[in-house]
Amino acid sequence: MASQADYKDRQFLAVIGDEDSVTGLLLAGIGHVTAPPDSQKNFLVVDAKTDNATIEAVFEQFTTERKDIGIVLINQHIADRIRHRVDTYTAAFPALLEIPSKDHPYDPEKDSVLRRVRRLFGE
């Protein structure tokens, strides 16, 4: 069970997405860079050249290492690239949210949480 200490410090959102999604979300004001010595960004821009290992490393960093992130947003087509990691991620904190991107319309069938919802209701 999640304890009090587990989530009271979580106050940021993190994004893994393509350039447009990240730009838009940063415009909304979620971007945060930690203090200079190891300035960690809470967003990652993924394009065709980014390899899966990088995405996985950043995903790992956002979900397990950093304790100040409450919600991780990830573009669905990027989640597809590391689908096994996304599907096996079941922790409550940080919450993992798959969001649609501009070029890839949202497909509810692929969403890991929605699939669990459907499985529970036996559809």
Partner 1 sequence: MSGAADREAVFPTRQSLGLMKAKLKGAETGHSLLKRKSEALTKRFREITRRIDEAKRKMGRVMQIASLSLAEVTYAVGGNIGFQIQESARAARFRIRTKQENVSGVLLPTFESYLTEGNNDFAMTGLGKGGQQVQRCRDTYARAVEALVELASLQTAFVILDEVIKVVNRRVNAIEHVIIPRTENTIKYINSELDELDREEFYRLKKVAGKKLRDNAALDAEMKLKREEKAARELAEGQPEVQEDASGPSDLLAAEEDEDVIF
Q: Footprint of partner 1 on this chain (CB under 8 A)? A: 1-2, 7-8, 10-13, 19-33, 41-43, 45, 70-71, 73, 90-93, 95-97, 99-102, 105-106, 108, 111, 113-114, 116-117, 120-121
What is each CA distance from 60 to 10, 16, 53, 103, 119, in whole angstroms?
A: 16, 11, 10, 25, 26
| C-alpha–C-alpha distance, residues 78 and 57, integer Å | 13
d(CA 121, CA 123): 6
Is 65:39 a contact under the CB 8 Å cutoff? no
Least Å distance, CB 70 to partner 1, is 5
Closest approach of partner 1 to the CB of residue 69, in Å: 10
Please report how close the Cβ of residue 92 comes to partner 1 at its closest, in angstroms: 5
